[in-house]
Amino acid sequence: MSIGPVEYLILGFPDNKFTGQIVPELAKLIDSGLVRIIDLTFISKDAAGDVAVIQHDVVEELAAFAGLDGEVGGLLTDEDIMYAAQSLEPNSSAALLVWEDTWATPFAVAVRNANGVILEGARIPREIIEEAVDALTDALD
């Protein structure tokens, strides 16, 4: 089985305000074949700093996530959950998401077949790109 690049995201929700707003867009990514969900876990940190895993079928705001097509479960460990929880403020929550970038699978296979290896890679924050594009636009004007 060929697999594309796999990414993880930790999405924070201050004040434990989960909404279902991201579900339709995530579903579009899945339905279009751009990504494949490998694992999805929700956590919360209470005022005392205690961390808990939240089942999507227990909290009404998370129910929409149950309809997503994916192979959810088993990949994220207790260590992963504690790592994500370190960045949470008290009384906040997070979604831990692991997905395969299926759109990149053919390229990843070609790189492997060419004996290529990734030497470095990172996601560039949107703010940095916006600043660079703005600076370039200003320089060209």
pTM exceeds 0.85: no
C-alpha pair distances (Å), 50 with each of 43, 44, 54: 10, 8, 13
Let me know the angle formed at the C-alpha of 40 by 38 and 46, rounded to the nearest 5 degrees: 160
11-53, pLDDT tens digit by residue? 999 988 877 788 889 889 999 999 998 888 889 999 999 999 8
Q: Which two tokens stand for residue 21?
A: 């707003």
Domain ranges in the chain are 6-103
68-99, pLDDT tens digit by residue? 776 666 789 999 999 999 989 999 999 999 99
